[in-house]
Each structure stands twice: as structure tokens, then as C-alpha cells.
Amino acid sequence: MKEVYSGIFLIVEKAKFRPSDNIFVLAGINGIIFDSGYGNKKLVKQFLDEFQDIEEHYKKQNKEFKITRIIVSHAHSDHFSGLNAISSKLGLKIVLTKEIASKIKDEVSFNTSFQADDYEHNLRIKKNILRRIWQLIRNMGEGFLYKRIFGLSYINKPDKIVGENSEIIINGEKWRILSSPGHSPEHISLYNERKGVIFSGDNVLNMRSTWLGPPESNIEDYLGTIRQYQNLPKLELILPAHGDIIINPKETLSAILKRMKEREEQLLNAINHHSNKGLSPENLMKIIYPKEKRITTIIARDWVVLMLKNMEIKGIIRRQIKKKRILFFPIEKH
Ligand SMILES: [Zn+2]
């Protein structure tokens, strides 16, 4: 564990085969844990050991240490799976927004949230076997595999429901629960104006882009969330759900917006350049990621499909189906 801000501790769950997960402990007289990481035994134990270190650290200084609640940023399995195990071991109340609670209440609700929409189905390459396996795993709601390896478990009855954009008192101080959709629709952040600190979940990561893809993500929502962060009255520290903490919020946020804009332009340029024959999503992938390895391509593909969806909705590009292939063309400005 590491104290990343006075009274805020970071515990990193070091998962195998998956990105490490950040869990934050807001220590004090009526504290809270933000995000719950993976739920498998080994990682929960690692978390509890480090949690105990924080407790001892407080006791040594004769400071009161009482954590009463746990809340999560969004309904992805790497962030809520530990809820049951951690809350029962530490006697914490589970606090969720209505939106998150409804997604993680049982397997059916969770799986439904990952089901591909029509748009996604239409654009998938049917022949790509790797893609199909990936889809199958996703459609199983990360089910069986995740239950075994990552300790996925559902919360059918949280102890308290809080509203998006409401306030919550943590250690005697007001924090705001910001609705921050984009990466996923139910995503929230936790913000304290006096400290200038925000827990950004998966929306902002240090030095790399977060995953954005169908059916969960929405680009316009995501841009709105990043702008909302930019417009906060005071922001000095971003505490993300993976990787290093962010001490230069302004630069990081504007770099995200810049990158998103550049990527859209890149796609649009390619489509404009091939306006006579049109481009399929596969063509676009080859143009934009000519040298990527396969697994990166899958993630990149999610991103490209999402971008195309957004550009089509915005009326910048249009599709045409030729011999069962979807091709994209620019829409000429008049
Ligand atoms: Zn996520």
C-alpha cells in the first residue's frame, strides 16, 4: 500500500493475465473503499493484508481508523468482483448507484449489459475465428471463466443506494458522486473540490488510452465526461482504476481529447481518400493498424467500430452494402 494523498491509500491488486487493479482506501473516522478489484481468494487476501497495514499505521499514530463502506466506479468485473468478499470480511456496507446495482444484481442482468447491439453484429468479421472466440467469451458475460479465475460474484441487495450527482460524506467531508458515462454508461467518479481529487475509474488512465468499444461505450458521452473533468473548479490529482496516479490532470485530459480528434480525422481521411470504392471496417483496420499484433487488433477493432458508429450517427459518413459487405463512404458537404 502507498499513501497517494493525505489519508488516501492505494492498494494494487497484482492480477495474472489481466491488468493490475487499483483499490483506494479513504482512511479516517467514517471511511470508504473505492472499487473492489477482483474477487478471487488470493487477491482478496493480498488486499486484506495491505489493508491491515494501513490500520496498523493509523493505530501507531493513535489515530482513529474506521472504514464503514465500499463503493465501486462501474459494473465491470475487474472492479466489482471483490465486493462480497471484502465487505463481509471487513463488515462494510455496500453503497451503489441504482444504475450500477441493476447491472450487477445477477448473472442475467450482467450478461445482458454485454450483449452486442445490432450495430456491432453488423460490422463484425464473421470469418475471424479469434474474433468469434472473443465474442463468445464476452457474450457469456465473462461468466464461467471469470467466476473461476477472477472471483466474479453478484450483489443482489446492496446496503445503500445513492443517486448519481449526489453528495456523500466521507470522514466528515463532502464528496460528489459524478455521473461520468463513456467507457460504460453507469460509470461514476468520486470528487472532492477542496482537495481537488477525483477517482476517475476507467475513464482516465495514465499514459494510455482506456478501452472504448461497443456495446458499452459511447464516444460523445466519453468526450462529455472528459470535458466535465476539465471544467471542475479544482483538479490536482486523478486517481485511476489502473496504473499510476495522475499528477498533471490538465495535460492528461487535453491529450485525451486531442488523441480522440486525431483518430477520428485519421479514419475520415482514409474514407475520403477511398471515396470512389468505399472502405469496409476491415480495410480501415489494415490502413490504421498495419503492423499490429492480433490481440491488439481486437481491441483496436472495438475502437474503430465504435468510432464508425459515432461518425455515422453524426452524419459524416454513410454506409452502403455491396455483396454482403458493409462499405463506408464520406457524405459530401453541400
Ligand atoms: Zn471498465
What spacing in Å lies between the alpha carbon of 142 and ligand 1's midpoint? 13
Given this model, what pLDDT does residue 296 score?
63
Given this model, what pLDDT does residue 270 score?
96
Given this model, what pLDDT does residue 287 score?
87
What spacing in Å lies between the alpha carbon of 221 and ligand 1's midpoint? 15
Given this model, what pLDDT does residue 125 score?
47
**Mean pLDDT, range 137-166, rounded to an integer:** 80
**Mean pLDDT, range 288-297, rounded to an integer:** 70
Residue 198 reports pLDDT greater than 50: yes
Q: Of residues 118 and 212, which shows the higher confidence score?
A: 212
What spacing in Å lies between the alpha carbon of 212 and ligand 1's midpoint? 9
What spacing in Å lies between the alpha carbon of 76 and ligand 1's midpoint? 5
Q: Which residues contact 266 (CB under 8 A, 6 or more apart)?
A: 288
What spacing in Å lies between the alpha carbon of 59 and ligand 1's midpoint? 34
Band of residue 120 on the pLDDT scale cut at 50, 70, 90:
low
Given this model, what pLDDT does residue 325 score?
81
Given this model, what pLDDT does residue 238 score?
98
d(CA 271, CA 221): 24
What spacing in Å lies between the alpha carbon of 205 and ligand 1's midpoint? 11
The half-sphere exposure of 295 on its side-chain side, counting CA atoms within 13 A, is: 0
Band of residue 140 on the pLDDT scale cut at 50, 70, 90:
low
Residue 139 reports pLDDT greater than 70: no
Q: In this structure, are strands 67-71 and 31-34 parallel, antiparallel, or unpaired?
A: parallel
pLDDT digits (tens, 9 = 90+) for 59-73: 999 999 999 999 999
Q: Of residues 222 and 208, which shows the higher confidence score?
A: 222
d(CA 184, CA 188): 9
What spacing in Å lies between the alpha carbon of 185 and ligand 1's midpoint? 10
Look up the pTM and report it: 0.90
What spacing in Å lies between the alpha carbon of 77 and ligand 1's midpoint? 8
60-73: b (≥16 Cβ within 10 Å) or e: eeeeebebbbbbbb
**Mean pLDDT, range 207-218, rounded to an integer:** 86
What spacing in Å lies between the alpha carbon of 285 and ligand 1's midpoint? 23
What spacing in Å lies between the alpha carbon of 80 and ligand 1's midpoint? 10
d(CA 255, CA 39): 33
**Window from 141-145, 178-182, 271-275 with minimum mean pLDDT:** 141-145
Given this model, what pLDDT does residue 283 score?
87
The DSSP secondary-structure symbol of 78 reads H
Topology of the domain comprising 2-247: Metallo-beta-lactamase; Chain A (3.60.15)
**Mean pLDDT, range 211-228, rounded to an integer:** 93
- Here the cell at position 46 is 493480498
Given this model, what pLDDT does residue 195 score?
98
d(CA 219, CA 229): 15
Instruction: Measure Cα distances from 115 to 118, 119, 230, 307 in Å.
Output: 10, 11, 32, 19
pLDDT digits (tens, 9 = 90+) for 298-309: 677 788 889 998
pLDDT digits (tens, 9 = 90+) for 171-191: 999 999 999 999 999 999 999
Band of residue 282 on the pLDDT scale cut at 50, 70, 90:
confident
CATH class belonging to 260-330: mainly alpha
The DSSP H or E segment spanning 41 is: helix 41-60
| Max CA distance (Å), the chain | 74
To the nearest whole percent, how much of the chain has pLDDT over 70?
Answer: 87
d(CA 242, CA 204): 9
Residue 215 reports pLDDT greater than 90: no
Instruction: Measure Cα distances from 171 to 26, 65, 235 in Å.
Output: 8, 10, 20
What spacing in Å lies between the alpha carbon of 202 and ligand 1's midpoint? 5
What spacing in Å lies between the alpha carbon of 279 and ligand 1's midpoint? 30
Residue 118 reports pLDDT greater than 70: no
Estimate to the nearest angstrom the gap between the alpha carbon of 135 and the chain centroid: 19
Q: Which segments of the chain belong to CATH 1.10.10.10?
A: 260-330
Q: Which segments of the chain belong to CATH 3.60.15.10?
A: 2-247
What spacing in Å lies between the alpha carbon of 195 and ligand 1's midpoint? 25
**Mean pLDDT, range 195-205, rounded to an integer:** 97
What spacing in Å lies between the alpha carbon of 58 and ligand 1's midpoint? 32
What spacing in Å lies between the alpha carbon of 103 and ligand 1's midpoint? 13
**Mean pLDDT, range 278-289, rounded to an integer:** 87
